[in-house]
Every structure is written in C-alpha cells, then in structure tokens.
Structure 1
Amino acid sequence: MPVTFRKSFRIFPGVRLNVNRKSLSLTFGQGKGPRQTYSTTGRRTTSMDLPGPFGYRKTTTGRGR
C-alpha cells in the first residue's frame, strides 16, 4: 500500500493552501459556489458542487505536459 501525504491550510476565508508530496496548490472559493485551483505543476481546475450527487469539474494542464 503506497504512503501518501496531503495537508490543507486555510490562509484567508475562501483561500486554501494545499500541500502534497509532489506539489503545492492554491484554491480560491468556498461553499456552494465555484472553486478555482492552481497547482505548481501547471494544472488548473475549476470545480463546483451541484444539487444532489452531481458535481462539475474541468481540468486544464499547462503546455508541455
């Protein structure tokens, strides 16, 4: 079983710093509204919780990946 590491810190209301073994990321947004996540690996993700068991997520990867 692989060993994983992940930690999230709230910097300001609506802003989180996420740390894992390979990268850092910042998430902007809170509650039921849309969230934007920017990673040091060049990945950008937009996500949003929708009513019921649904959700929306779109991930864009930077050039050269």
Structure 2
Amino acid sequence: MPITFRKSFRVLPGVRLNINRLSWSITLGAGPGPRHTISSTGRRTTSMDLPGPFGFRTTRRRNRDQ
C-alpha cells in the first residue's frame, strides 16, 4: 500500500493552497459556483458541483512542445 501526502491551507476566503508529494496547486472559488485550480505541473482544472450527486470537471494540460 503506497503512502500518500496531501495538505490544504486556506490562504484567503475562496483561495486554497494545496500541497502533495509531487506538486502544489492553488484553487480559486468557493460556494456553489465554479472552482479553478492551477497546478505547478501545468494542469488547469475547472470544476463545479451540480444538483444531486452530479458534478462537472474539465482538465487542460500544458503543452510541453513549446
């Protein structure tokens, strides 16, 4: 069983700093609206909770060819 590490800190209202074993990220947004997450690895995620057990998430990755 692998050991994992994840810690999240509230920096300001609606802003969180997330740290894990391989990278860090900043999440913007709180409440019922969308949340935007930007990772140190180049991943950008937008997510939103929908009514009931549903949710929406889209992820883009940085193009490393540039």
Q: Same fold (TM over 0.5)?
A: yes
Structure 1 residue 64, shift from structure 2 partner: 1.9
**After TM superposition, which residue ranges in structure 1, 4 or more long, deviate above 2 angstroms?**
none
Spell out, residue by residue over 1:5-43, the C-alpha distance to the aligned partner (whole angstroms, 9 max, x if none).
000000000000000000000000001110000000000
* 3-state DSSP of counterpart to 1:31: coil
Partner of 1:47: 47
The TM-score with structure 2 as length reference comes to 0.96
Q: How many residues align?
A: 65
1:37 and 2:37 correspond:
yes
| Matches of 2:2 and 2:16, distance apart in 1 | 25
Q: Which runs of 5+ in 2 are unaligned?
A: none
Residue number in structure 1 paired with 2:22: 22
The whole-number CA distance in structure 2 between the counterparts of 1:32 and 1:18 is: 20
Specify the alignment match of 2:10 in structure 1. 10
**Which residue is 1:58 aligned to?**
58
CA RMSD of aligned residues (A): 1.0
Structure 1: 5+ residue stretches without partners: none
The offset of 1:58, in angstroms, is 0.2
